[in-house]
């Protein structure tokens, strides 16, 4: 009898890389990659210097802005102290005007001929006027003294002209209402009468 043939097992040829082969290929691939070049130290230093210059410029600009802000704040605070009473001071000028009118309403001869109590009363009004003017000056309010001076449109308001050839044209000859300044600002211009017909004022 013939023995039955055993089924032959087909041999498998290797179709894949082994783990060792894969590791070798990976190492070879890595070895083929170029190594990154080290940065040029001089270029790095130059970039750092440029960055330092830029930062320094920004710091200086910031410091300058802060200094300007500080100065503006100080000026605003100073102006607030000086000009914060402007409205109140302007209202008080009417009181100063009334005191001055009360004194001027008494003629000199009538004052000399008046009794002692009346003289004391007038002197009291004059003292009150001087004291009030000193208190205004304490807050930067001062009277403008234009009499005999050159007309200044920034400080004076001309109400009329007075013919006079003996003085330069534009000279303040009469003060109708006193003017005042507070700090460097005009609180109320002085109302005046100025001359005309005289020589032109010098440009000095």
- Beta partners for residue 161, in sequence order: 194
Two tokens at 73?
A: 């704040």
How sure is the predictor about 33, in pLDDT bands with cuts at 50, 70 and 90? low
Give the model confidence (pLDDT) of 76-96 as tens digits: 888 787 788 888 889 999 999
The answer to the question of residue 56 being in a domain is no
Chain-centroid distance of CA 138 in Å reads: 24
CATH value at residue 203: 2.30.22.10
Q: Which of 112, 188, 185, 132 is nearest to 157 (CA)?
A: 188
Give the model confidence (pLDDT) of 138-197 as tens digits: 888 999 999 999 999 999 999 999 999 889 999 999 999 999 999 889 999 999 999 998
Structure confidence at residue 12 (pLDDT): 45
The answer to the question of residue 10 being in a domain is no
Total domains in the chain come to 1
Give the model confidence (pLDDT) of 1-10 as tens digits: 555 555 555 5
| Boundaries of domain holding 161 | 142-204
The whole-model pTM stands at 0.61
The answer to the question of residue 131 being in a domain is no
Q: Do the Cβ atoms of 187 and 109 come closer than 8 Å? A: no
- C-alpha span between 178 and 147 (Å, rounded): 10
């Amino acid at each position: 009898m013939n023995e039955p043939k055993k089924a032959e097992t087909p041999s498998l040829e290797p179709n894949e890389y082994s783990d060792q082969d894969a590791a070798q290929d990976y190492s070879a691939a890595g070895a083929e990659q170029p190594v990154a070049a080290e940065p040029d130290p001089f270029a790095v230093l130059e970039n750092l210097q440029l960055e330092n210059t830029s930062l320094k410029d920004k710091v200086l600009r910031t410091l300058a802005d802060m200094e300007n802000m500080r100065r503006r704040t100080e000026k605003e605070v100073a102006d607030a102290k000086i000009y914060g009473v402007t409205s109140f001071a302007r209202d008080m000028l009417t009181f100063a005007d009334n005191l001055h009118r009360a004194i001027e309403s008494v003629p000199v001869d009538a004052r000399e001929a008046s009794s002692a109590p009346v003289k004391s009363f007038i002197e009291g009004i004059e003292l009150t006027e001087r004291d009030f003017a000193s208190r205004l000056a304490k807050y930067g309010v001062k009277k403008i003294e234009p009499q005999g001076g050159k007309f200044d449109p920034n400080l004076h308001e001309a109400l009329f002209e007075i013919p006079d050839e003996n003085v330069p044209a534009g000279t303040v000859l009469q003060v109708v209402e006193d003017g005042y300044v507070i700090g460097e600002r005009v609180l109320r211009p002085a109302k005046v009468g100025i001359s005309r017909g005289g020589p032109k004022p010098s440009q000095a």
